[in-house]
Amino acid sequence: MSSPALKVLVLGSQIFAEEVADLIGETPGLELAGFVENLDPARCKTQLLGKPVHWVTELASLDEPVNLLCGLGTNRRRTYVDQVEVYNLPFATLIHPTARVSRTSTVGVGSIISVNAVVAARTTLGQHTIVNRGALIGHHTQIGDYVTIAPGANIAGKCIVEGGCYIAMGAVIIDRVRIGANSVVGAGAVVTKDVPANVQVVGVPARIVKEGVVGR
């Protein structure tokens, strides 16, 4: 007999939360239980996708066991996860059935591996990281906590992407490159050398266009 599906509450009730809900519905072993709002109490007065929207403090008094999964695609993800830690609820990890994750690689708790994403051999993904549709991550690469890898991004082997980075749609990072913490790689950029922390790079080859960045 198979184990019962994990009931999952999605943190957030905006557009990306609906995308996460869709992925939950397509992933065996997970079941959408509802959403959790922490900014606008008015959003809790109506359902979303036929499921309840709970106010964040309700996590202290739920009637059934649930797991959490953060449905924010920005650096506010870290803030929200920190906020709910007080409730001591476990986080789910979502790997869509069309994704390919090497059996030699590891995926941190709370992370989301979306449709047709690929994680190659001996690679490590941190906690609460998002690997979006069709993104590719090469072998022996290290991805930190709270990283967002947008659709179609391609990160080669032996790279290091430190925590809090945002790798935008279609960006390419060649092999053995390090992206410093909280930096943003713009859409379509081609990164050919190390990127320091807290900057934004764009273009081909990628160049720094902004400093003092705190992620996205």
With 90 as the cut, is the pLDDT of residue 214 above it? no
pLDDT confidence bin for 110, thresholds 50/70/90: very high
**DSSP string covering 102-147, please?**
-TT-EE-TT-EE-TT-EE-TT-EE-TT-EE-TT-EE-TT-EE-TT-
What's the maximum distance between 2 C-alpha atoms anywhere in the chain? 56
pLDDT confidence bin for 1, thresholds 50/70/90: low
Cis previous bond, 4, omega within 30: no
Residue 116 CB neighbour total at 10 angstroms: 16
Q: Cα-atom radius of gyration of the chain, to the nearest Å?
A: 17
| pLDDT score of 141 | 98
pLDDT tens digits for range 49-96 = 999 999 999 999 998 899 999 999 887 899 999 999 999 999 999 999
128 is an active site residue: no
Which of 54, 96, 128, 139 is flagged as catalytic?
A: 139
Name the residue with higher pLDDT: 73 or 114: 114
With 70 as the cut, is the pLDDT of residue 173 above it? yes
Q: Domains in the chain, please, with CATH?
A: 6-87 (3.40.50.20), 94-209 (2.160.10.10)
Report the Cα 19 to chain-centroid distance in Å. 12
CA pair distance 121, 103, nearest whole angstrom:
7
pLDDT tens digits for range 133-147 = 999 999 999 999 999
| pLDDT score of 76 | 84
What is the pTM (predicted TM-score) of this model? 0.95
Per-residue DSSP letter, 85: G
| pLDDT score of 2 | 66
Average pLDDT, the chain: 96
Q: Which of 2-11, 52-61, 106-115, 151-160 has the lowest mean pLDDT?
A: 2-11
**DSSP string covering 19-45, please?**
HHHHHHHHSTTEEEEEEEESS-GGGGG
